[in-house]
Amino acid sequence: MNRTATKGFFKLCLTTLVAVYFLIAVGGIVRATGSGMGCPDWPKCFGSWVPPTSVEQLPENYKDSYAQYRDKKNQKFVRLLHSIGMHQTADQISNDKTILIEADFNPVKTWIEYLNRIVGVIIGLLIVLLFARSINYRKSHPSIFWLALATLVAVLFQGWFGSIVVSTNLTQWTITVHMFLAMVIVAILVYLLWISREQPLQIEATGSVKWWLIICAVLLLIQTFFGTQVREAIDRLARESRETWIGSLGGEFIIHRSFSWVIVLAHGYLLWKLYKTSSAKALTTTLMVLILASVFSGVGMAYGGVPPFLQPIHLTLATVTFGLQLYLFFGLNSRNKTVLVN
């Protein structure tokens, strides 16, 4: 494999990963501004590839028509859930009539959601291109091909599930699943990025560092889950003033806030071990900065009334931190691994 092809694939992986992080940030903006139902249908927006800018452009009965459209889609999803044994979840969707309540048209929210979808389409095209490029490696490095295929399948599934998020009117658990599917895509892309380096990233460190890194990554995923529970609780309070949100939250917020100390202490010990025994000082410093920034953004949300601009920042910092943890792990675990080098 020539060096130009190798370098090109690495750059494409990096571009795609950065684009996914950008989409996660945009998704955070969508949720922070309450724009998730800015487009009641999918993949079009109010039945058009170019969204309307005023309510006068919509039919008088647009709420009823789109509620019926989403109801039909939900019934198909309910049948799917029943077929795989998720009867309770299916019944909850069938019996919750609030799912079919249409939001009033808001052109700003409509365009925020539509731009989110445009970014998603661009990333989809990047993933398709990544898979097309991986075909060149299907014999020499089959893992590259299969990982790229897995990324493509995951993105297609994510796109379909995004339509379910919309049709069920942002049902809380669907948003959480949608978020963790994004984390899966990040994980695959990070591994593709590592394996497609021209020179393998091999970090010298003790075995205990590797295990602490795994522990910290798992703890971060748990904390991310707790964060989604807090966000779901906030969604239930969305009609109240932002200043009252934190005070009105229950156990979800207390758990999330308290668990942050576990994250800080575990990462503090990990960073000390990395600095002491690892050769990856720059990556370790970056990880430390990301952890601190994530903590301070969380503090800002807790004491600042959950300002909208901090929500996407907090979410994106967590996902970038997770990606860097994986990248470090692959470097620490790189012995006897095949990498895409000349």
How many domains are contained in the chain? 2
Mean pLDDT across 216-229: 85
**Domain boundary residue among 145, 179, 198?**
198
Show Cβ contacts of residue 90 under 8 Å, excluding neighbours closer than 6 positions: 78, 79, 81, 82
**Pairwise pLDDT comparison (301 vs 267), residue with the higher score:** 267
**Domain boundary residue among 172, 198, 224?**
198
Domain shared by 169 and 246, yes or no: no
User: Residue 165: which domain range?
Assistant: 1-198
- pLDDT exceeds 90 at position 270: no
Domain shared by 194 and 215, yes or no: no
Size (the chain), residues = 342
Domain shared by 244 and 136, yes or no: no
Q: What pLDDT, on a 0 to 100 scale, did the predictor assign at position 207?
A: 66
CATH of the domain at 244: 1.20.120
Domain shared by 38 and 117, yes or no: yes
Domain shared by 117 and 154, yes or no: yes
**Cα–Cα distance between 253 and 250 in angstroms, integer?**
6
- Single pTM value for the model: 0.82
Domain shared by 24 and 147, yes or no: yes
Domain shared by 151 and 273, yes or no: no
Domain shared by 194 and 212, yes or no: no
Q: Render 12-71 in DSSP notation, one character per residue.
A: HHHHHHHHHHHHHHHHHHHHHTT-TTSSSSSSSBTTBSS--SSGGGS-TTHHHHHHHHHH
Domain shared by 124 and 245, yes or no: no
**Cα–Cα distance between 80 and 12 in angstroms, integer?**
36
Q: What pLDDT, on a 0 to 100 scale, did the predictor assign at position 322?
A: 92
Domain shared by 228 and 83, yes or no: no
Q: Does residue 146 contact residue 122 with C-beta atoms inside 8 Å?
A: no
- pLDDT exceeds 50 at position 193: yes
**Domain boundary residue among 198, 214, 235?**
198
Compute the mean pLDDT over every residue in the chain, rounded to the nearest whole number.
82
Domain shared by 228 and 167, yes or no: no
